[in-house]
Amino acid sequence: MKFSKKSEYALRALIELTGQYGQPPLQRHEIAKRQQIPIEFLEQILLTLKNAGLLGSRRGVTGGYSLIKPPQDITLGQVIRILDGPLAPIGCVSKTAYQKCSDCPYSEKKNCPIQNAMLGVRNAIADILDNYKLSDFASGHCKRAHA
Amino acid sequence: MKFSKKSEYALRALIELTGQYGQPPLQRHEIAKRQQIPIEFLEQILLTLKNAGLLGSRRGVTGGYSLIKPPQDITLGQVIRILDGPLAPIGCVSKTAYQKCSDCPYSEKKNCPIQNAMLGVRNAIADILDNYKLSDFASGHCKRAHA
DNA sequence: TAAAACTTGACTAATTCAGTTTAGAATGAA
DNA sequence: TTCATTCTAAACTGAATTAGTCAAGTTTTA
Ligand code: FES
Ligand code: FES
């Protein structure tokens, strides 16, 4: 149940880019240095985020990466789904990538006890991550797990 | 962020064993057949659960596996931790297997925005799974993610 | 005693993870 | 124009994990 290093690095890089929002682009080597991320690996991650439509980039000597949308319009849920896939702990409760459990004997009858439990888990995770925005990073804001 | 097949099979096997609690042990081939799990793989899982103190077993012709504790004393959290390790999405928010983030620049100052967010996630997951008992499976009980 | 059942450990193929390498294309300063 | 700087794209790698499989036991009891 761990997030990959990619997701972690992505979030760390996005913290830097959030701080730079509205200013000139930030270069990969600057992000890598500040966050201690292997630069070539970071590159891969930034490209993925760019292709997913979160970042823009400019080449050449004054180039770099920058957020393409305001930080309050990007959620942690989006970022993590891009790099790690669906949030759900099991395919049959994913909203963004549902997959029927081929071998679960309760699958057909829609009364699977495991599905029941895991749906709660997936919703709890998504409720937090889909409401936590990049802008909340800057403010040190902390969403509560349960009121 | 997916659970492994091991955890899934373990829970499915435990549903069967919960139904059998207080009665003679259930044999692995019976569990495998009812839940459509490859028998040698199931064996591995049952052994792990046994070594973790959840199951007992008897050998020989009338043998099999059985729960060693009442179903209301075993939580999904316990089971999943045995097979998949800690529930936390990142080492620095795990209560059962804490690990410092060696390369996170905020790690020292205890003001890591990622840690903040992920602690919420880990607590939400643990709140559900550590309160969901095997006995809740039988009753079709569904813990709500958020009141 | 022999069949049925659990026990142990090693083995494997396929995939994923974390990262590296290589080659190329755009930008802008000299 | 030329050239260093920067991003782009893809293939490549070694280690670890996943999901099983296999073989050779030991224990129990009919
Ligand atoms: S239907 Fe998905 S685990 Fe049962
Ligand atoms: S301290 Fe763990 S991610 Fe920052």
Annotate chain B with DSSP letters as a single string.
Answer: -PPPHHHHHHHHHHHHHHHTTTSSPBPHHHHHHHHT--HHHHHHHHHHHHHTTSEEEE-STT-EEEESS-GGG-BHHHHHHHHH--S-SSGGG-SSS----SS-TTTTTT--HHHHHHHHHHHHHHHHHTT-BHHHHHTT----S--
Stretch A64-85: mean pLDDT: 98
Same domain? A47 vs A101: no
Stretch A65-78: mean pLDDT: 98
The answer to whether the CB of A88 is under 6 A from ligand 1 is no
Say yes or no to pLDDT of A103 above 50: yes
- A67, A97, A121 — which closes off a domain? A67
Same domain? B56 vs B96: no
Position A57 confidence tier, pLDDT thresholds 50, 70, 90: very high
Q: Evaluate whether residue A18 is within a structural domain.
A: yes
DSSP characters over B70-81? -GGG-BHHHHHH
Same domain? B98 vs B61: no
- B18, B35, B67 — which closes off a domain? B67
Q: Domain of B47: which CATH number?
A: 1.10.10.10
User: Residue A22's Cα: distance from chain center in Å?
Assistant: 21
Residue A140 is predicted with a pLDDT of 58
Same domain? A93 vs A134: yes
3-state secondary structure at position A146: coil
Average pLDDT in chain A: 94
Tokens, residue B101: 């983030």
Residue A1 is predicted with a pLDDT of 92
Of all residues in chain B, the percent with pLDDT exceeding 90 is 90
- In which domain, by residue range, is B39 found? 5-67
Residue A12 is predicted with a pLDDT of 98
Question: Do A90 and B3 make contact, defined as CB atoms within 8 angstroms?
Answer: yes
Same domain? A96 vs A53: no
Q: Evaluate whether residue B80 is within a structural domain.
A: no
Closest alpha carbon to A120 in B144, B131, B133: B144
Question: Do A76 and B116 make contact, defined as CB atoms within 8 angstroms?
Answer: no
Q: Evaluate whether residue B75 is within a structural domain.
A: no
B34-86: per-residue pLDDT in tens?
Answer: 999 999 999 999 999 999 999 999 999 999 999 999 999 999 999 999 999 99
Q: Evaluate whether residue B73 is within a structural domain.
A: no
Same domain? A19 vs A55: yes
- A33, A67, A101 — which closes off a domain? A67
Report how many Cβ contacts below 8 Å link chain A to chain B: 144
Q: Evaluate whether residue A12 is within a structural domain.
A: yes
Nucleotide nearest to A43 (CA to C1'): D7
Average pLDDT in chain B: 94
Q: Evaluate whether residue B74 is within a structural domain.
A: no
Closest alpha carbon to A128 in B147, B146, B77, B4: B146
Q: Evaluate whether residue A116 is within a structural domain.
A: yes
3-state secondary structure at position A133: strand
Same domain? B46 vs B12: yes
Say yes or no to pLDDT of A128 above 90: yes
Any idea what DSSP says for residue A36?
Answer: T
Q: Which residues contact A62 (CB under 8 A, 6 or more apart)?
A: A24, A25
Same domain? A10 vs A57: yes
Burial class (CB in 10 A: 0-12, 13-18, 19+), A89: buried
Instruction: Kindly list the residues from chain A whose CB atom is less than 8 angstroms away from the CB atom of residue B145.
Output: 120-121, 123-124, 127
Burial class (CB in 10 A: 0-12, 13-18, 19+), B130: middle
Same domain? B57 vs B109: no
Stretch A90-112: mean pLDDT: 94
As a whole number of angstroms, the distance between CA A40 and CA A80 comes to 20
Q: Evaluate whether residue B81 is within a structural domain.
A: no
Any idea what DSSP says for residue A4?
Answer: P
A144 vs A105, residue with greater confidence? A105
Tokens, residue A32: 């890598």
Residue nearest to nucleotide C5 (CA to C1'): B60
What is the tally of structural domains in chain B? Answer: 2
As a whole number of angstroms, the distance between CA B3 and CA A90 comes to 6
Same domain? B93 vs B53: no
B126-143: per-residue pLDDT in tens?
Answer: 999 999 999 998 765 544
Same domain? A9 vs A63: yes
Query: For residues A81 and A96, is the Cβ–Cβ distance under 8 A?
Result: yes
DSSP characters over A37-71? --HHHHHHHHHHHHHTTSEEEE-STT-EEEESS-G
Same domain? B62 vs B10: yes
Residue nearest to nucleotide C17 (CA to C1'): A4
Of all residues in chain A, the percent with pLDDT exceeding 70 is 94
Our measurement of CA A98 to C1' D25, in angstroms, reads 44
